[in-house]
């Protein structure tokens, strides 16, 4: 066998990304450098609380320590970001990843509240037929630090004296199909000592229904939302084929019933209302029966269209009738306002449209609020 010649001038090792280290890995890293353990927390605080982009900004490390870190590491924050501003104040952040892919996060103001919707995958593992992200396929899972970086990127651009009220993992992707990274990201987001310091009860994870993993969510301390979207098995098979094949409606509801809900918390069920498909009176009545005995509330989401989608948004009175039936049966039911539709920033509208620049049926008021961040 021919022997491979040695590579001339092997390229220097890629610098280590500090943001890619979780708490444990940061401790091991400082230990390898022979530094005292508390240096790990110092560095992490700079990353998640100081939101620094350069090692040079870590001013409580000595000059020599900064020089050493600078030599071996980078901070690892994303470099590219575009912001699209919708008329209702919703902002969609398009964040460039290391490998050239883009991830989307949506900041939704509502009165004095500010909710940030985060993505967990580029594209999605699943194929829900009413969701634009679902039509993209899965490009790849996000790493934990790429999930956290969405929060840091948005926090950098908040007006002074404003803070995020809540985080929802409801953007691109299925969080439970990337649970290790999601759990790691949540640990960093909720750590009050050195992390971002957002309480777990202000975070909601939404799943299309990977029933076998629900118990693992319980351990994370966050709220759980389940996208039910159908009132019977046949509908769900049609609307959410992949997840329903793995976990049919009955199995999913059994898992919800068995979910170890902490006191005073309840599950949220999301239900996308698709005109003439799952928005009729019998659907509402079946839904009431399905949810009997589960401590929960329901969020109704009138369908947000995207170019080429086969579904219609129901009329407002149909949405209200659906809500009334549930409420009269004693189920707390809310109608989700569709925010940011003009920048394709509403539920189910995240993803790439190859023909975004060609005329399409949705008026796109794409207003780049900032070009490159």
304 touches ligand SAH (CB under 6 A): yes
Residue 242, both tokens: 């992949």
Least CB distance from residue 273 to ligand SAH, whole Å? 8
Residue 347 annotated in active site: yes
Q: Which residue is nearest to ligand SAH (CB)?
A: 348
314 touches ligand SAH (CB under 6 A): no
Query: Quick one: 208 or 211, whose CB is closer to ligand SAH?
Result: 208
Residues 6+ apart with CB under 8 A from 23: 40, 44, 187, 188, 191, 194
301 touches ligand SAH (CB under 6 A): yes
Q: Give the contact letters, 7-26, x = binds to ligand SAH (CB under 6 A), - = no.
A: --------------------
Which span (22-30, 76-84, 203-211, 290-298) binds ligand SAH, by CB under 6 A?
Answer: 203-211
Which helix (H) or strand (E) covers residue 123, if one does? strand 121-123
Least CB distance from residue 235 to ligand SAH, whole Å? 13
Query: Quick one: 206 or 278, whose CB is closer to ligand SAH?
Result: 206
115 touches ligand SAH (CB under 6 A): no
Count of chain residues binding ligand SAH (CB under 6 A): 16
Q: Among 65, 104, 146, 270, which one carries the catalytic annotation?
A: 104
Query: Quick one: 277 or 347, whose CB is closer to ligand SAH?
Result: 347
Least CB distance from residue 125 to ligand SAH, whole Å? 9
DSSP state of 56: G
How far, CA to CA in Å, does 93 sit from each of 34, 99, 289, 330?
A: 39, 17, 39, 38
Query: Which of 123, 314, 348, 351 contacts ligand SAH by CB under 6 A?
Result: 348
Q: In sequence order, which ranges of 33-62 are alpha helices (DSSP H)?
A: 38-48
Site for ligand SAH in 328-347 (CB under 6 A): 347
DSSP state of 313: P
Query: Quick one: 125 or 153, whose CB is closer to ligand SAH?
Result: 125
Least CB distance from residue 333 to ligand SAH, whole Å? 14
* Residues 207, 182: Cα–Cα separation, whole Å: 12
Residue ranges with strand state E in 161-255:
166-169, 203-207, 223-227
Q: Give the contact letters, 210-249, x = binds to ligand SAH (CB under 6 A), - = no.
A: -----------------x-x--------------------
Query: Which of 104, 146, 149, 174 contacts ligand SAH by CB under 6 A?
Result: 174
Length of the chain, please? 373
How far, CA to CA in Å, does 24 sit from each of 15, 36, 49?
A: 19, 14, 18
Instruction: For residue 368, report the phi and psi dihedrals to the nearest 5 degrees.
Output: -65, 110
**Where does residue 261 rank: exposed (0-12), middle (13-18), buried (19+ CB within 10 A)?**
middle
Residue 227, both tokens: 């996208």
Least CB distance from residue 229 to ligand SAH, whole Å? 5
Q: Whose structure tokens read 């071996």?
A: 72
322 touches ligand SAH (CB under 6 A): no
- CB atoms closer than 10 angstroms to residue 46: 21
Which span (3-11, 56-64, 158-166, 206-214) binds ligand SAH, by CB under 6 A?
Answer: 206-214
Residue 203, both tokens: 């975070």
291 touches ligand SAH (CB under 6 A): no
* Residues 176, 181: Cα–Cα separation, whole Å: 10
In the chain, what is the straight-line distance between the N-terminal and C-terminal CA atoms, in Å? 51
Least CB distance from residue 49 to ligand SAH, whole Å? 28
Residue 117 annotated in active site: no
- State the residues that interact with ligand SAH by CB under 6 A: 130-131, 170, 174, 206-208, 227, 229, 270, 272, 301, 303-304, 347-348
Residues acting as catalytic residues? 104, 347
């Amino acid at each position: 066998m021919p022997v491979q010649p040695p590579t001339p001038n092997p390229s220097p090792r890629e610098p280590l990304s500090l943001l890619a280290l979780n708490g444990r890995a940061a401790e091991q890293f400082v230990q390898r450098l022979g530094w005292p353990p508390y240096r790990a927390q110092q560095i992490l605080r700079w990353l998640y609380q100081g939101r620094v982009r350069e090692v040079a900004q870590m001013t409580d490390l000595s000059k020599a320590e900064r020089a050493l870190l600078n030599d071996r590491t980078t901070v690892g924050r994303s470099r590219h970001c575009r912001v699209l501003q919708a008329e209702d104040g919703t902002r969609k952040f398009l964040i460039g990843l290391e490998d050239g892919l883009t991830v989307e996060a949506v900041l939704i103001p509502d009165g004095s509240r500010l909710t940030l919707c985060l993505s967990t995958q580029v594209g999605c593992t699943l194929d829900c037929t009413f969701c634009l992200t679902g039509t993209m396929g899965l490009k790849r899972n996000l790493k934990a630090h790429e999930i956290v970086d969405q929060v840091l990127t948005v926090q950098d651009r908040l007006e002074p004296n404003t803070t995020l009220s809540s985080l929802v993992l409801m953007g691109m992707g299925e969080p439970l199909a990337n649970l290790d990274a999601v759990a790691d990201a949540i640990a960093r987001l909720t750590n009050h000592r050195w992390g971002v310091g957002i309480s777990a009860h202000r975070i909601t994870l939404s799943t299309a229904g990977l029933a076998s993993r629900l118990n693992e969510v319980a351990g994370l301390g966050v709220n759980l939302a389940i996208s039910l979207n159908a009132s019977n098995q046949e509908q769900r098979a049609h609307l959410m084929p992949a997840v329903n094949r793995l976990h049919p409606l009955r199995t999913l509801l059994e898992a919800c019933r068995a979910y170890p809900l902490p006191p005073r918390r309840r599950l949220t069920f999301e239900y996308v209302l698709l005109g003439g498909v799952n928005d009729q009176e019998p659907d509402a009545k079946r839904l009431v029966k399905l949810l009997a005995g589960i401590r929960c509330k329901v969020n109704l989401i009138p369908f947000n269209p995207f170019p080429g989608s086969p579904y219609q948004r129901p009329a407002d009175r149909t949405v209200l009738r659906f809500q009334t039936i549930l409420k009269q049966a004693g189920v707390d039911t809310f109608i989700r306002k569709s925010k940011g539709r003009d920048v394709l920033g509403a539920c189910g509208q995240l993803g790439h449209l190859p023909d975004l620049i060609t005329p399409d049926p949705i008026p796109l008021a794409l207003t780049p609020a900032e070009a490159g961040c």
